[in-house]
Amino acid sequence: MSFNFMNKNMLDRMFKQVDNVVWDMMSGKVGFKTNEGIMTIDLDLEASTDANAPKPTEAPNAQVSLNLFDDFGMPIPAFAQSTAPEAIQLGDMIYANNKVMGWVVKKNEKSYKIMKADGTRTDWTPPKTQMLGFDSGIMVLRSLLNMLPGGATGLESMQGNLSQFMMMSTMMGGNDGDTEDTLKDIMPMMLMSQMGGAGGSTGGGFQQMMPMLMMMKMMKGNSRPSNRSNGKEDYSGINRKSGSDFFK
């Protein structure tokens, strides 16, 4: 087994891009695309003014919301993150067996109540898996506000980094398909950098990495076909699935 293969496997266990699931870079929301729009979860929890109050473990009134595509101002590829079971939050999307299982609406001691796209609920128990002798965690997708250190501050930092990347990509003549492919490549590095910098204004050193990443993009050039010509995932709306397709 080569070092690069092990490296890629370990990176995939930390951050894994999930087809048809997107983040809205403007609001930080996460949702998955269907023919009708982008579906998200509304937990409908009462806001608590007590900072010391325990976090709720159930969202009995949770419901699936359908957002029009215009509601997502800037959709970008979303990545699942390996998360310790005790760190799973209500509203997280569970990703297992190469598919989105649903949203967490109740946390039990060793299992979770999952809401599917059609509103039905089912119990899900995570399998016990290890990598290099350590528990590998559960792959979840969550809003950027919950994922990034610093919450809103971390999101603002990522917005700045992505805006800079988009501007440089446009100046170098990249088309939308090339930019989407490159985003898939750099997002894991951006997320690791962001978390390493605790969501600070420097973006965890990502700005220092930008010239190197743009050079990699130049070297790659047009060697990889854009999404619009090869039938792969397209963030302009091609190849959308129905909601039920994600939970089969």
The predicted pLDDT at position 14 comes to 77
Q: Tell me, what's the pLDDT at 215?
A: 54
For the stretch 162-186, pLDDT in tens is 877 777 767 766 555 566 777 777 7
**Which residue ranges make up each domain of the chain?**
14-45+53-147, 148-243
* pLDDT tens-digit series, residues 101-137: 999 999 998 899 999 988 899 999 998 765 555 566 8
Cα gap 85→111, rounded to integer Å: 9
**pLDDT for the residue 72:** 77
Separation in Å, CA 202 to CA 23, 79, 152, 196, 207? 21, 22, 14, 11, 7
Structure confidence at residue 248 (pLDDT):
55
Q: Which residues of the chain have pLDDT under 70?
A: 1-13, 48-49, 69, 129-136, 169, 172-179, 195-248
pLDDT for res 120: 93
Q: What pLDDT is stored for residue 11 in this prediction?
A: 59
The pLDDT, as a whole number, for residue 30 is: 92
pLDDT at site 183: 75
What is the model's pTM?
A: 0.71
Per DSSP, the residues of 191-241 read HHHHHHTTT-TTGGGHHHHHHHHHHHHHHHTTSS--HHHH----TTSTT--
